[in-house]
Amino acid sequence: MNSNIIGNTMIYVINPYEIYEHGFHFQNLSNFISKVEIEHSILESFYDKNSSRGYTSYFFAKNILESINDDTITKWADFSDKYYDTNLEDYLMKLVSKYWNDSPRDILDEIPLNNSPIITLSKEAISNYVFGKEDNAVKSFRFPEEGIGLFTELAKLELFEISSLKKFTKSFGIPIGVDLSKKSEYSTLMDFKQYNTFLYFGAAPTALIYKELVEYQNIFNMFVAVKTNDEQLANKIYERKRFIQAVSELSSISVNRSSEIQTFKREYEKNILDNKNKFSLAQCRKYLTEAITEKVAINTKITDSVDGDFFEVKLYNNLFEVAYNQIKDSLLNNTELKRCENCGHIFESTHGKQRFCSPLPFKKRSSCENNYNQRLKRNKEKALSLVELGNSIEEISQIINESPETIQQWIINKVN
């Protein structure tokens, strides 16, 4: 048996994806994805008594609080459509401290989920998959050979922003949800080799995706801090974790709780500005090692073949697991990270001269490179037009946000 194919993962992407209010889409899609399956995915994700990680709603609240993005809590408040006041952060902290100090109990109802929009394939797209229709809408890419930029593109996703999620799914599919490829009664792909994994999500509550995304982006920030030796970023991650840990140990019914939280918060904000903790990068490495070890441990299986050989097989349940393994590979292979000259996000460089994010699946060239060149062309045309109108180079530089040196070179090139 060819060991090269062991553990290959086929990720299917079929457009279009649509957004529905919870429950509405089942009128058209109930033959393929039942409402019970969607409800089960929510329950399993947010509250699982048998989970090795305990009460996952607690971890969701903790991950939101530990986010170093200042607007994460506000975005969650708007998305949840239940809490719009300034006390949401204190509410989440009480949730965390309740778990920390009291005996665990069902706290699922305290996190608003029922109004979560659903992202799903259209009825036509699911039919194309189920009945094996061959058209341009049915695409797939193979991991690990393809989709090399998945883990950095996943980090770009805007939390609680539907438009950002829809854009991502056009290239990579829904990252987690109800997996149609595991339904043998519907799938036409079961005759492929048993060692392959097929990921094809038909629908998912957006709350489930964002729950995973909050945690993923926290871990990705640790990864960036460690790979780039960014002490300032590492310090912010470390101090935020210390702040939440301190609040977690407060009693949820303490009379002075609010004032104590504010005291901790002022200390946290001061430590962020001072950036004096020289151990934060080492702590960040420790956090990252523990997190990635936990995330990738479940994906490796050992199996034997009919001819008696043993193989290591990689099995993935969703795109987040694929992304965590890409982070692991980047750490082990000591790959280089760069910042894209177009979008400003971190990407993994495959060669020394690479300046932009890698091409998306099904694309030969980088979308960021194309956008950069198009913008540069427009700016050049506009700059030369402004020169003819008598504007100074300094004025043009402010208008189009290009350096005076670049504009000067454009002028010289045109003259020559």
Which H or E element spans position 19? strand 17-20
**Taking the CB of residue 124, how many other CB atoms lie within 10 A of it?**
12
Q: What is the pLDDT of residue 110?
A: 57
Distances (CA, A) of 13 to 64, 338, 381: 29, 27, 38
The tokens of 308 are what?
A: 């008696």
Residue type, 231: E
Note the pLDDT of residue 137. 62
CB contact at 8 A, 83 and 91 = yes
The encoded tokens of residue 69 equal 């993005």
CA dihedral of 164, 167, 173, 175, whole degrees rounded to 10 = -10
Distance in angstroms (rounded) separating the CA atoms of residues 115 and 160: 13
Q: Using an 8 Å Cβ cutoff, are 201 and 318 in contact?
A: yes
Output the CA angle 26-29-30, nearest 5 degrees. 65
Q: What is the pLDDT along the chain (416 residues), one digit of tens a residue?
A: 333 345 578 787 877 677 776 554 555 566 667 777 777 777 777 655 444 445 677 788 899 999 999 889 988 888 877 665 667 888 888 888 877 665 544 554 555 555 678 888 777 777 766 666 655 567 888 887 788 889 999 999 999 998 899 999 988 989 998 876 665 443 444 444 455 677 888 888 888 899 899 999 999 999 999 999 999 999 999 999 999 999 888 877 677 888 888 899 999 999 999 888 888 999 999 999 999 999 987 777 776 666 677 777 777 888 999 999 999 999 999 999 999 999 999 999 988 889 999 999 888 899 999 998 898 888 888 888 887 788 888 888 888 778 888 878 787 777 65
> How high is the pLDDT of residue 235?
95
Q: Give the model's pLDDT for residue 91.
A: 81
Annotated domain spans of the chain: 3-333, 337-415
Residue pair 147/13 in contact (Cβ under 8 Å)? The answer is no
Q: What pLDDT is recorded for position 383?
A: 81
Start-to-end CA distance of the chain, whole Å, equals: 63
Distance CA 109, CA 112 (A): 7
User: Do 380 and 414 form a contact (C-beta atoms < 8 A)?
Assistant: no
pTM of the model: 0.85
Q: At what angle do helices 231-248 and 257-274 cross, to 10 degrees?
A: 170
Centre a 10 Å sphere on the Cβ of residue 342 and count the other Cβ atoms it contains. 19
* E strand spans, 91-225: 118-121, 138-143, 178-179, 197-199, 201-205
Q: What is the pLDDT of residue 135?
A: 58
What's the number of CA atoms in the CB half-sphere (13 Å) around residue 144? 17
What pLDDT, on the 0 to 100 scale, is given for residue 100? 66
pLDDT value, residue 34: 73
- 192 with 198: CB under 8 angstroms? yes
Alpha carbon distance 358, 139 (integer Å): 19
The position carrying tokens 């899609």 is 29
- Alpha helix locations (H) across 32-107? 35-46, 56-66, 72-80, 88-101
